[in-house]
Amino acid sequence: MTARIRRGLYAITDTLLLADGKLLEHVGQAIRGGARLIQYRDKQLSPAVRQHQAAALAELCKSHGIPLLINDDVALAAAVGAAGVHLGEHDCDLQGARCQLGPDAIIGVSCYNRLELARQAASRGADYVAFGRFYPSSTKPGAVQARPALLTEARQVLDIPIVAIGGITPENGGELVSAGADLLAVIHGVFGQPDVEAAARHYAALFDHM
């Protein structure tokens, strides 16, 4: 585990859940609840609004000592001084992102249910890899299925942090941590709940005795 990435909850924003000026407030609550990593994810807003929100989040996260990553947008991550970026299969290549963001940036890569993709990402300098979805997901209902055994297999061959994502709840997340996940990436389970801080604490508690 790199010093910059700590085991625990990886809270991912969704602007559909965080309208009406709630973004900063609720991310702050997630951090107080124990989130170790924050990702800004938006698929609908204008570039100007996205930059404004991401810049404000970058300042908030820095004040708490929590890394902020930007989903799929290397240029935005560079513009707001984010800690790094998360890349999907069809986003900017890892080397290109590294050139733009520098050697200290955190770069994560989605590997879905494919261990070979994770091996390749690790060999090219990824700071973490993400597998999933593991359970039915409202955010990506059509995403490929990954199984907990994949985490165990990946743990045996990778020496970078492993993230699990997709339909994770406090009730099923413990299985994934036991199987080898270093972080649980969650959207609706945190930001879709009436008490964001309490929801985050439920996930953070899964790592207390691991």
**Residue of 7, 36, 110, 133 with catalytic role:** 110
**Residue of 4, 41, 114, 119 with catalytic role:** 41
**Cβ 66 vs Cβ 31: under 8 Å:** yes
Place of tokens 């001084």: 81
Residue range 96-127, pLDDT digits in tens: 999 999 999 999 999 999 999 999 999 999 99
Is 110 annotated as catalytic?
A: yes
Is 114 annotated as catalytic?
A: no
**Cβ 57 vs Cβ 40: under 8 Å:** yes
Confidence of residue 189 (pLDDT cuts 50, 70, 90): very high
Residue range 49-99, pLDDT digits in tens: 999 999 999 999 999 999 999 999 999 999 999 999 999 876 668 999 999
Provide the residue type at 23 as one letter.
L
pLDDT, the chain, mean: 93
Residue range 6-50, pLDDT digits in tens: 999 999 998 888 776 899 999 999 999 999 999 999 988 999 999
**Residue of 4, 22, 119, 140 with catalytic role:** 140
CB atoms within 10 A of CB 48: 8
CB atoms within 10 A of CB 5: 22
Domain residue spans of the chain: 8-207
Distance CA 206, CA 51 (A): 33
* Residues making up the chain, counted from first to last: 210
8-207: CATH architecture: Alpha-Beta Barrel (3.20)
Q: What is the pLDDT of residue 137?
A: 73
Is 140 annotated as catalytic?
A: yes
The yes-or-no verdict on residue 177 having pLDDT over 80 is: yes
